[in-house]
């Protein structure tokens, strides 16, 4: 992995599902873990899922606005990655900072030997990227892998959509001389 982490280099179409048919946290973990197994990122699905639950028991990973970033460390990991899933519906039993249901899951796939600094860099980069421009809105609307890539591309030029004229009015002041 390069010194400057590029989140786009970590996304892999083989482990992205923008039409997950899941309604529980366990189904989401197992579905995304199966994608990771089939793509060669992990070699033991049950161990990987158990390790994610171990981390999940420490603190909920729903960050708000329908997004969860579960992560943990596992000896089952063969290759660093992030599996991404967007649910057809929502996962109501996840637990999130804003108590809202989860719609999109970014499941980190990190080995125990990479867990410390690498995992924190990935988490910081993903969370920071989600906060830039209209990335969060684009992630919520994604329907395919290319939408995911587009959401995280060209973030410096991204402009948050204004959905409320009052919000716009509060942000700008116009004077006529």
Domains and CATH numbers, the chain: 7-171 (3.40.930.10)
Question: Is the pLDDT at 164 greater than 70, yes or no?
Answer: no
Q: Report CA-CA distances (Å) from 10 to 41, 61, 125, 132, 137.
A: 12, 20, 11, 18, 21
pLDDT at position 5 is 65
pLDDT at position 112 is 80
pLDDT band for position 73 (50/70/90)? confident
pLDDT digit string (tens) for 107-150? 999 888 776 666 677 777 888 888 888 899 999 999 999 999 99
pLDDT band for position 159 (50/70/90)? very low
pLDDT at position 14 is 97
User: What average pLDDT does the structure give for the chain?
Assistant: 83
Phi, psi of 68 (to 5 degrees): -125, 145
143-163 in b/e form (b: 16+ CB < 10 A) is eebeebeebbeebeebeeeee
Q: 37 Cβ partners below 8 Å, 6+ apart? A: 43, 45, 48
pLDDT band for position 68 (50/70/90)? very high
What pTM was estimated for this model as a whole?
0.82
C-alpha 120/C-alpha 153 separation (Å) is 21
Phi, psi of 142 (to 5 degrees): -65, 145
pLDDT at position 38 is 98
> Any idea what the Cα angle at residue 96 is, between residues 164 and 165, rounded to 5°?
5
């Amino acid at each position: 992995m390069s010194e400057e982490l590029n989140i786009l280099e970590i996304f892999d179409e083989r482990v992205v599902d923008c039409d997950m048919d899941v309604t529980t946290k366990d189904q989401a973990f197992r579905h995304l873990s199966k994608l990771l197994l089939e793509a060669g990122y992990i070699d033991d699905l049950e161990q990987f899922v158990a390790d994610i639950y171990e981390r999940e028991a420490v603190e909920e990973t729903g960050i708000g606005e329908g997004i969860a970033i579960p992560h943990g460390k596992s000896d089952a990991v063969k290759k660093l990655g992030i599996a991404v899933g967007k649910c057809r519906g929502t996962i109501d039993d996840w637990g999130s900072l804003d108590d809202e249901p989860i719609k999109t899951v970014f499941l980190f796939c990190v080995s125990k030997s990479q867990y410390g600094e690498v995992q924190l860099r990935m988490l910081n980069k993903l969370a920071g990227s989600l906060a830039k421009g209209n990335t969060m809105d684009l992630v919520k609307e994604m329907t395919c892998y290319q939408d995911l890539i587009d959401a995280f591309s060209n973030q410096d030029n991204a402009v948050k959509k204004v959905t409320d004229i009052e919000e716009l009015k509060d942000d700008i002041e116009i004077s006529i001389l």
